[in-house]
Structure 1
């Protein structure tokens, strides 16, 4: 069945993808969905769930346990992903890229959008992982900080590069070697999530906003600035503005960034720290400028030409959601083949057109242009070399750092 290659999209599929950008899924990105429902942020209760429930501190305890692989005899796998994070057909009854995989390989995918929050999902799978049992899932998609924790605990299997030829060849340099998984031994990114500066040109009187210092100090923006309630994004962007590397900062550096934000909040320069609800205020102009997630900016710009974005000269923060095979999963090879499927450029283009975040796959520009030329030229979806070089990842944290930093940030934002 390997000769069947339905990776190329038909005219009908292309049209359906274009329509998805202006109705249904296109109105709300995956990350916005989390903020809209009030989940996704790692609050103090979530920290307690990670560090105070009998789980050892985050450290490597060995490679994830590999169960007997039943892939050859059982042509199936179970894939858990976030809600609104997979392409759908126009009637919303099919997942074209998953069906293309089954058609090409004969492997049936049970796809479940049962991840709504990293902490909540970790609570679901923790008991089985801690007991050395199968979670019932062969492939999961989690944000980088949780991926790091699972790898350190030995709860993610090492991937077999021989089953990942497209992934190995096409993974963007920007995502090749995070500090929490050097060489991508256990994970591959599903998508990248850039944090940039967005502004409403009408609300700023046509002035460009292109630095965190401007957000924090420009008197013409006073009371009309928002930062995100996600610690890694807001503190990370502030660290960059202070000339510090988010990938190698100290406790003192972190405290200086929080103090900088606190000072601006105290004098009411910052209107508020927000989840995705900044989007409505930015669209109306009640917020003139803010730290924003790229997927939201793509959507807002499609309807409001006054919405602009900039990447500060100091750089920007990028995080990622990542595919891992849990310890004891029964169908490791099948899962690896599915990961590899999404690194085929025509497949990656279809997915990127739907979810609007950074595509981690090189070589998709021509395929994405067939769907929508403007998306192929959008550096928030396909970063050019300069933008990719400006990206910085927030370094992985120990359990102790995670607790201490989140407590300080929660105090800052009044959580």
Structure 2
């Protein structure tokens, strides 16, 4: 079982980790994903999946205990005591299931590195429920047979309340192994006072008027996918020829002197200082910056933006699998999703949670009322159907494609 960090050790939030850890490590770990161990013949057809579900869940019962591992600051917390998580306490009161909740995950690469040997040995990781991003590591967990197929007959709240955008994704068709935890958008953030006009397109990041004031990322995954959008290609169905054209688009931007810096770690502060006028951004960072007094705009470009998702999944070795599935379904109750959203302020996968927040705002006063009203009306937390329709998922790379992708996109920001 993985041990927690020393007491008092500083730990960044999921928002910070998305910026800093994902960038520098994003594609280097992809090369390391060709891990030793046999790739499993995972079920694909409807009958095969149904049989796998029956085999895994047959005879399983609640244990009354659940070990849940997550990123830091990625669940609701009591403002007076950050170690308390009201929705977890309410879950225990409702179900009698005791939860051990730990914040041990720093990033996809290091977590996979810690857990893969334990999975491969068959001893398990000591956790019943974990959060995994919709990146290449999720694909590896599935390919290696490390995740349990979900029994959707026990997930009625997911079926009823999950938004359409969070069902049947390309990285897990049919939600066989995952349900979304939180989500977010990648688009363009800019300072309208500096730019002097509206930004509407990825092509605006090649406008000579912004030369030396544009921020891009040292992240081949995100860079490659947004460049595919910029050339009018859907990342999910893109081809290697599309990738080459996308890399040409990024090189043209770089060679024209448009980019001030390639960094996932510093773009938010650079936008707020005015060093950058426009940048590739996570939607949640613009929301947080504006809560701190900035006046930035976030736009999903007309060619489309990216939707990413962090997911709840069950290790195949989970002792408390039924308990974990019970929590998964509980998290899709609108009132529970609303509590979590009020703290983490990412995109909520439960649209009905907005109605809960609206009702709470009407009953609140003062600063809390204003904060809840801002949250419930923010398109960065509850995107409109029109915004959702312009979001695309990132390309799921097969093992044989990863080297080619890296070779095209990494040199652009490493040069």
For the criterion TM > 0.5, the same-fold answer is: yes
Q: Give the Cα separation in 2 of the matches to 1:278 and 1:236.
A: 18
- SS in structure 1 at match of 2:19: helix
Match of 1:117 in 2: 107
Partner of 2:407: 407
Offset from partner CA, 1:29-57 (integer Å, 9 cap, x none) = 62323534x46643554234321x41446
**Mapping of residues 83-102 of structure 1, within 5 Å:** 83-90=72-79, 91-102=81-92
Is the counterpart of residue 54 in structure 1 residue 36 in structure 2? yes
Instruction: Using the TM superposition, give the Cα deviation of residue 147 of structure 1 relative to its aligned residue in structure 2, in angstroms.
Output: 2.0
1:174 equivalent in structure 2: 165
Partner of residue 162, structure 1:
153
- Map of 2:323 onto structure 1: 334
CA shift in 2, pair 1:43/1:384, >3 Å:
closer
CA distance in 2, matches of 1:258, 1:30: 29
Cα deviation, residue 96, structure 1:
0.9
Q: Does 1:398 align with 2:398?
A: yes
Work out the CA distance in 1 between the residues paired with 2:356 and 2:297. 26
Identify unmatched segments of 5+ residues in structure 1: 1-27
State how 1:286-297 maps to structure 2 within 5 Å. Answer: 286-297=275-286
Q: 2: CA distance between counterparts of 1:287 and 1:49? A: 34
Distance 1:57 1:165 in 2: 32
Q: Is it true that 1:225 corresponds to 2:209 in the alignment? A: no
Query: What is the alpha-carbon distance in structure 2 between the residues aligned to residue 46 and residue 61 of structure 1?
Result: 26
- Residue equivalent to 1:241: 230
1:34 and 1:116 in contact (8 A); partners too: no
Q: Where does 1:300-379 land on structure 2 (aligned, <5 Å)?
A: 300-369=289-358, 370=360, 372-379=372-379
**For residues 79 and 221 of structure 1, do their structure 2 counterparts lie closer, same or farther at Cα, with a shift above 3 Å needed?**
same
CA contact 2:147–2:177 (8 Å) conserved in 1? yes
**1:56-95 aligned within 5 A:** 56=38, 60=42, 66=56, 71-72=61-62, 74-90=63-79, 91-95=81-85
Shift of 1:408: 2.7
Structure number with higher helix proportion? 2
Q: Which residue of 2 aligns with 1:35?
A: 19
Indicate the structure whose relative CO is greater, using CA pairs within 8 Å and at least 6 residues apart: 1
Looking at structure 1, the residues matched to 235 and 222 of structure 2 have their Cα atoms a distance apart, in angstroms, of: 10
CA RMSD of aligned residues (A): 2.2
Does residue 1:131 correspond to 2:113, yes or no?
no
Number of aligned pairs?
Answer: 383
CA contact (8 A) 2:178 2:311 kept: yes
TM-score when normalising by structure 2: 0.87
CA contact (8 A) 2:158 2:332 kept: yes
Q: Which residue of 2 aligns with 1:298?
A: 287
